[in-house]
Amino acid sequence: MDTADDAGVFALGDGRALVQTVDIFAPVVDSAYDWGRIAAANALSDIYAMGATPLTALQYIAWPRDDLSLDLASEVMVGGLDVMAAAGCTVLGGHSIDGPEPHYGFAVTGLTGPGGVKTNAGARPGNVLVLTKPLGSGIVSTAMKRGKCPEGLASDAIEMMASLNGPESAYAVAHQATAMTDVTGFGLLGHLQEMTRASGVGAVVHADSVPVLDGVRQLLSLGMWASGSGRNLAVMEDQIEIGVDRDVLKILVDAQTSGGLLIALPAPAVAPFMADLPSASAIGVITEDLSISVIP
């Protein structure tokens, strides 16, 4: 709890450990099937962020059965189960309740190998920060809820949110990542701050190197901005050194759903990692100074 890490860890005593997490949330897209996919990918992401392999999951759904059809609930669950199957994670069962609003998610258990867990507390000065998915899903989700999102951008964001972080996690472990977390509700800068505080280090972020979904900046200019991201902005403005304009900063604190992994890598490991995963982006560096700076 002190380091705000992504999942709980229980050592088995033989070099391996169980890693456990739970994630439940309300709909973020209109499609029931896609919501299920995104919920599953989001729950699995915390396991991957610890460098673990998902083993089993328990499914949870709250459903207003008098207002929404049970067939629609089935579509949600099919989406979730499809992604769990793609991850090689066995869904053992679950629980359902009659609730006033739909909610869906999973409790997931994973397993680490002899190499142990990857926490957010191991970053060291000189490490390079790498991000594996573009930002902007919060802005896109807000635009979708308001009926203002172009169809192509919505489709791209949904596929990104439903994609698994498994290969990225495996590459990070193979290339001796020192620290890792996933980018979700606190935005990139919020989760980076958790990493730097846990590790006793600072960071410099090169904003121009941070990947952003095409079309997100245009949506932001139209006022597509969620209240949760606004709270992130209010917190981070007082705690970081800002060398970019406010719209850039808004993207860096945008609350993400099923975002990418933020990985601290030893500098010599960056080129081999990027060769394995060319879609990833090097976005900054870990420093001895305890502050976080954002520069162009």
Residue 214, helix vs strand vs coil:
coil
Tokens representing residue 263 in the block: 């990985």
Q: Which fold has domain 8-112?
A: 60s Ribosomal Protein L30; Chain: A; (3.30.1330)
Q: Count other C-beta atoms under 10 Å from residue 147's C-beta.
A: 7
Instruction: Please report the pLDDT score of residue 116 as a whole number.
Output: 80
Q: Count other C-beta atoms under 10 Å from residue 266's C-beta.
A: 15
CB-based burial of residue 131 (10 Å sphere; 0-12 exposed, 13-18 middle, 19+ buried)? buried
CATH number of this structure's domain 128-295, picked from the four choices 3.90.1300.10, 3.90.650.10, 3.40.50.1100, 3.10.450.50? 3.90.650.10
- Tell me the β-bridge partners of 284: 129, 205
Instruction: Please report the pLDDT score of residue 117 as a whole number.
Output: 92
**Per-state percent for the chain, helix, strand, coil, to nearest 5:** 40, 25, 35
Report the interhelical angle of 166-174 vs 267-276 (nearest 10°): 140
pTM of the model: 0.96
| Integer Cα distance of 176 and 168 in angstroms | 12
Q: How far is CA 80 from CA 35, 42, 72, 139, 183, in A?
A: 8, 10, 13, 23, 20
How do residues 168-206 score in pLDDT, each as one tens digit? 999 999 999 999 999 999 999 999 999 999 999 999 999
Per-residue pLDDT 10s for the chain (296 aa) are: 788 899 999 999 888 999 999 999 999 999 999 999 999 999 999 999 999 999 999 999 999 999 999 999 999 999 999 999 999 999 999 999 999 999 999 999 999 977 789 999 999 999 999 999 999 999 999 999 999 999 999 999 999 999 999 999 999 999 999 999 999 999 999 999 999 999 999 999 999 999 999 999 999 999 999 999 999 999 999 899 999 999 999 999 999 999 999 999 999 999 999 999 999 999 999 999 999 999 99
| Integer Cα distance of 40 and 87 in angstroms | 10
Q: Which of 184, 157, 168 is nearest to 257 (CA)?
A: 184
Task: Report which residue type is found at 195.
Answer: M
Instruction: Please report the pLDDT score of residue 1 as a whole number.
Output: 74
Instruction: Please report the pLDDT score of residue 2 as a whole number.
Output: 80
Residue with tokens 């207002």: 67
Task: Report which residue type is found at 120.
Answer: N
- Tell me the β-bridge partners of 264: 129, 179
Q: Where are the domains of the chain?
A: 8-112, 128-295
Q: How far is CA 31 from CA 24, 155, 208, in A?
A: 17, 11, 33
For the CA atoms of the chain, what is the radius of gyration?
A: 19
Instruction: Please report the pLDDT score of residue 25 as a whole number.
Output: 93
